[in-house]
Amino acid sequence: MRYFVARVSTKEQNLARQLVVARERFEIPDENVFCDKASGKDFDRPEYKRMKSLLQRGDEVIVKEFDRLGRNKSEVKTELEWFKEHGVIVRILDIPTTLIDFKEQTWVLEMVNNILIEVMGTIAEQERKKILQRQAEGIAAMPMVNGRRVSARTGNPAGRPPSEYPDFEKFLKMKKDGLLTVKEGCERLGISRSQWYALERKKERGNTPPARVCVTSQEQSHMEITSQV
Protein backbone atom coordinates (compact mmCIF):
# COMPACT_ATOMS: atom_id res chain seq x y z
CA MET A 1 0.00 0.00 0.00
CA ARG A 2 1.19 3.50 -0.84
CA TYR A 3 0.59 6.55 1.34
CA PHE A 4 1.39 10.20 0.75
CA VAL A 5 2.38 12.74 3.43
CA ALA A 6 1.80 16.46 2.81
CA ARG A 7 2.48 19.35 5.16
CA VAL A 8 2.44 23.15 5.24
CA SER A 9 3.26 25.26 8.28
CA THR A 10 0.21 27.55 8.50
CA LYS A 11 -3.51 27.46 7.73
CA GLU A 12 -3.05 30.17 5.10
CA GLN A 13 -0.64 28.06 3.02
CA ASN A 14 -1.86 25.84 0.20
CA LEU A 15 -1.32 22.08 -0.12
CA ALA A 16 -2.28 21.94 -3.81
CA ARG A 17 1.28 21.72 -5.15
CA GLN A 18 1.96 18.59 -3.10
CA LEU A 19 -1.41 17.00 -3.77
CA VAL A 20 -0.89 17.24 -7.53
CA VAL A 21 2.12 14.94 -7.13
CA ALA A 22 0.13 12.43 -5.06
CA ARG A 23 -2.78 12.26 -7.50
CA GLU A 24 -1.18 12.68 -10.91
CA ARG A 25 2.27 11.14 -10.57
CA PHE A 26 1.48 8.30 -8.16
CA GLU A 27 -2.33 8.04 -8.50
CA ILE A 28 -2.69 7.67 -4.74
CA PRO A 29 -6.36 7.70 -3.66
CA ASP A 30 -7.49 10.53 -1.39
CA GLU A 31 -8.06 8.19 1.55
CA ASN A 32 -4.32 7.42 1.51
CA VAL A 33 -3.25 11.08 1.46
CA PHE A 34 -2.56 12.60 4.88
CA CYS A 35 -2.26 16.38 5.19
CA ASP A 36 -1.30 18.53 8.16
CA LYS A 37 -1.15 22.29 8.51
CA ALA A 38 1.41 22.42 11.29
CA SER A 39 5.00 23.32 12.05
CA GLY A 40 7.76 20.92 11.02
CA LYS A 41 9.49 21.34 14.40
CA ASP A 42 8.23 17.91 15.54
CA PHE A 43 5.95 15.02 14.56
CA ASP A 44 3.08 15.75 16.92
CA ARG A 45 0.73 16.09 13.95
CA PRO A 46 -2.69 14.39 13.95
CA GLU A 47 -2.85 13.22 10.32
CA TYR A 48 0.76 12.05 10.31
CA LYS A 49 0.16 9.99 13.47
CA ARG A 50 -3.03 8.58 11.97
CA MET A 51 -1.11 7.46 8.90
CA LYS A 52 1.56 5.76 11.05
CA SER A 53 -1.13 3.79 12.86
CA LEU A 54 -2.19 2.25 9.52
CA LEU A 55 1.23 1.26 8.20
CA GLN A 56 2.21 -2.35 7.69
CA ARG A 57 5.45 -4.00 6.65
CA GLY A 58 6.06 -3.50 2.92
CA ASP A 59 4.04 -0.28 2.67
CA GLU A 60 5.50 2.86 1.07
CA VAL A 61 5.34 6.43 2.34
CA ILE A 62 5.92 9.15 -0.27
CA VAL A 63 6.88 12.76 0.49
CA LYS A 64 7.38 15.45 -2.13
CA GLU A 65 10.27 17.22 -0.38
CA PHE A 66 12.41 16.39 2.62
CA ASP A 67 11.36 19.44 4.64
CA ARG A 68 7.69 18.49 4.18
CA LEU A 69 8.48 15.50 6.39
CA GLY A 70 10.01 17.74 9.07
CA ARG A 71 12.58 20.40 9.89
CA ASN A 72 14.10 18.91 13.03
CA LYS A 73 17.02 16.79 11.86
CA SER A 74 17.29 14.53 14.90
CA GLU A 75 13.54 13.83 14.96
CA VAL A 76 13.43 13.16 11.21
CA LYS A 77 16.25 10.63 11.60
CA THR A 78 14.36 8.99 14.48
CA GLU A 79 11.24 8.71 12.32
CA LEU A 80 13.18 7.26 9.40
CA GLU A 81 14.72 4.70 11.74
CA TRP A 82 11.20 3.75 12.91
CA PHE A 83 10.10 3.21 9.30
CA LYS A 84 13.16 1.05 8.66
CA GLU A 85 12.55 -1.09 11.75
CA HIS A 86 8.93 -1.63 10.73
CA GLY A 87 9.76 -2.54 7.12
CA VAL A 88 8.19 0.60 5.63
CA ILE A 89 9.86 2.18 2.57
CA VAL A 90 10.13 5.97 2.47
CA ARG A 91 10.36 7.73 -0.91
CA ILE A 92 11.46 11.38 -0.79
CA LEU A 93 11.23 12.94 -4.25
CA ASP A 94 14.04 15.47 -3.81
CA ILE A 95 16.35 12.63 -2.71
CA PRO A 96 16.29 10.59 -5.95
CA THR A 97 18.24 7.64 -4.51
CA THR A 98 15.25 6.87 -2.25
CA LEU A 99 13.31 6.08 -5.43
CA ILE A 100 15.76 3.36 -6.48
CA ASP A 101 15.26 -0.31 -5.59
CA PHE A 102 18.62 -2.09 -5.30
CA LYS A 103 18.41 -5.84 -5.59
CA GLU A 104 22.02 -6.33 -4.49
CA GLN A 105 24.46 -4.38 -2.36
CA THR A 106 21.67 -2.54 -0.56
CA TRP A 107 24.25 -1.22 1.90
CA VAL A 108 25.55 1.11 -0.85
CA LEU A 109 22.12 2.68 -1.31
CA GLU A 110 21.63 2.95 2.44
CA MET A 111 24.98 4.68 2.84
CA VAL A 112 24.19 7.19 0.08
CA ASN A 113 20.72 7.86 1.51
CA ASN A 114 22.13 8.41 5.00
CA ILE A 115 24.61 10.98 3.69
CA LEU A 116 21.93 12.82 1.70
CA ILE A 117 19.48 12.73 4.62
CA GLU A 118 22.15 14.18 6.91
CA VAL A 119 22.78 17.02 4.45
CA MET A 120 19.12 17.70 3.70
CA GLY A 121 18.23 17.51 7.39
CA THR A 122 20.84 20.12 8.24
CA ILE A 123 19.57 22.42 5.48
CA ALA A 124 15.93 22.02 6.58
CA GLU A 125 16.81 22.71 10.22
CA GLN A 126 18.83 25.80 9.33
CA GLU A 127 16.00 27.09 7.14
CA ARG A 128 13.59 26.81 10.08
CA LYS A 129 16.01 28.80 12.25
CA LYS A 130 16.17 31.48 9.55
CA ILE A 131 12.36 31.63 9.39
CA LEU A 132 12.14 32.11 13.17
CA GLN A 133 14.88 34.75 13.05
CA ARG A 134 13.07 36.66 10.28
CA GLN A 135 9.83 36.53 12.28
CA ALA A 136 11.57 37.85 15.39
CA GLU A 137 13.26 40.65 13.41
CA GLY A 138 9.95 41.57 11.77
CA ILE A 139 8.18 41.81 15.13
CA ALA A 140 11.05 43.84 16.62
CA ALA A 141 10.71 46.34 13.75
CA MET A 142 6.99 46.88 14.37
CA PRO A 143 5.84 50.14 16.02
CA MET A 144 4.76 50.10 19.67
CA VAL A 145 1.15 51.02 20.49
CA ASN A 146 -0.09 50.87 24.09
CA GLY A 147 2.85 48.70 25.06
CA ARG A 148 2.37 46.14 22.25
CA ARG A 149 3.97 45.66 18.86
CA VAL A 150 1.46 46.17 16.05
CA SER A 151 1.59 45.64 12.31
CA ALA A 152 2.14 48.88 10.41
CA ARG A 153 0.09 47.45 7.52
CA THR A 154 -2.95 46.02 9.34
CA GLY A 155 -2.75 47.61 12.78
CA ASN A 156 -3.20 44.19 14.39
CA PRO A 157 -1.11 43.29 17.46
CA ALA A 158 1.79 40.87 16.97
CA GLY A 159 1.66 37.41 18.50
CA ARG A 160 -1.26 35.42 19.81
CA PRO A 161 -4.16 37.26 21.43
CA PRO A 162 -4.35 36.86 25.22
CA SER A 163 -6.61 33.97 26.20
CA GLU A 164 -9.30 34.43 28.83
CA TYR A 165 -10.73 31.48 30.75
CA PRO A 166 -13.58 32.76 32.96
CA ASP A 167 -14.16 29.29 34.46
CA PHE A 168 -10.54 28.85 35.53
CA GLU A 169 -11.10 30.32 39.01
CA LYS A 170 -13.90 27.80 39.62
CA PHE A 171 -11.76 24.86 38.53
CA LEU A 172 -8.78 26.16 40.51
CA LYS A 173 -10.91 26.18 43.68
CA MET A 174 -12.11 22.63 42.92
CA LYS A 175 -8.48 21.57 42.53
CA LYS A 176 -7.51 23.15 45.86
CA ASP A 177 -10.49 21.44 47.52
CA GLY A 178 -9.32 18.09 46.17
CA LEU A 179 -12.32 17.71 43.86
CA LEU A 180 -10.38 17.96 40.60
CA THR A 181 -6.91 17.09 39.29
CA VAL A 182 -4.86 19.41 37.09
CA LYS A 183 -5.23 16.93 34.23
CA GLU A 184 -9.04 16.94 34.54
CA GLY A 185 -9.10 20.73 34.75
CA CYS A 186 -6.99 21.03 31.60
CA GLU A 187 -9.27 18.64 29.72
CA ARG A 188 -12.41 20.56 30.72
CA LEU A 189 -10.89 23.93 29.81
CA GLY A 190 -9.16 22.65 26.67
CA ILE A 191 -5.73 23.91 27.72
CA SER A 192 -2.29 22.41 28.33
CA ARG A 193 -0.70 21.83 31.74
CA SER A 194 1.77 24.67 31.10
CA GLN A 195 -1.17 27.03 30.40
CA TRP A 196 -2.85 25.86 33.63
CA TYR A 197 0.22 26.62 35.74
CA ALA A 198 0.73 29.98 33.99
CA LEU A 199 -2.88 30.95 34.79
CA GLU A 200 -2.43 29.74 38.37
CA ARG A 201 0.72 31.86 38.82
CA LYS A 202 -1.08 34.86 37.33
CA LYS A 203 -3.98 34.34 39.71
CA GLU A 204 -1.66 34.06 42.71
CA ARG A 205 0.16 37.26 41.72
CA GLY A 206 -3.17 39.05 41.43
CA ASN A 207 -4.18 37.92 44.92
CA THR A 208 -0.89 38.86 46.60
CA PRO A 209 -1.67 41.43 49.32
CA PRO A 210 0.39 44.62 49.41
CA ALA A 211 3.49 44.47 51.60
CA ARG A 212 3.02 45.72 55.17
CA VAL A 213 4.93 48.85 56.17
CA CYS A 214 6.68 48.37 59.49
CA VAL A 215 6.83 51.49 61.68
CA THR A 216 9.11 51.65 64.72
CA SER A 217 7.85 53.02 68.04
CA GLN A 218 10.12 56.07 67.63
CA GLU A 219 8.66 56.78 64.17
CA GLN A 220 5.14 56.32 65.57
CA SER A 221 5.80 58.89 68.32
CA HIS A 222 7.19 61.32 65.75
CA MET A 223 4.09 60.87 63.55
CA GLU A 224 1.78 61.50 66.51
CA ILE A 225 3.68 64.70 67.52
CA THR A 226 3.66 65.92 63.92
CA SER A 227 -0.08 65.34 63.58
CA GLN A 228 -0.71 67.46 66.67
CA VAL A 229 1.30 70.47 65.37
Q: In the beta sheet, which residues pair with residue 35? A: 6
Task: Give the Cα separation of 9 and 15 in Å (integer).
Answer: 10
Task: Give the Cα separation of 200 and 207 in Å (integer).
Answer: 11
Identify which of 39, 41, 52, 44 has the alpha carbon closest to the alpha carbon of residue 5. Answer: 52
Task: Give the Cα separation of 114 and 61 in Å (integer).
Answer: 17
Task: Give the Cα separation of 214 and 26 in Å (integer).
Answer: 79
Burial of 141 (0-12, 13-18, 19+ CB in 10 A): exposed
Q: Is 39 a catalytic residue?
A: no
- CA 2 to each of CA 33, 91, 120, 166, 190: distance values in angstroms, whole numbers, following the listed order: 9, 10, 23, 47, 35
Active-site pick, 9, 163, 194, 227:
9
The dihedral through the CA atoms of 72, 77, 81, 83 has a sign that is: positive
Distance between alpha carbon 51 and the CA centroid of its chain, in Å?
A: 19
Task: Give the Cα separation of 85 and 152 in Å (integer).
Answer: 51
Residue count (the chain)? 229
Q: So which residues are the catalytic ones? A: 9
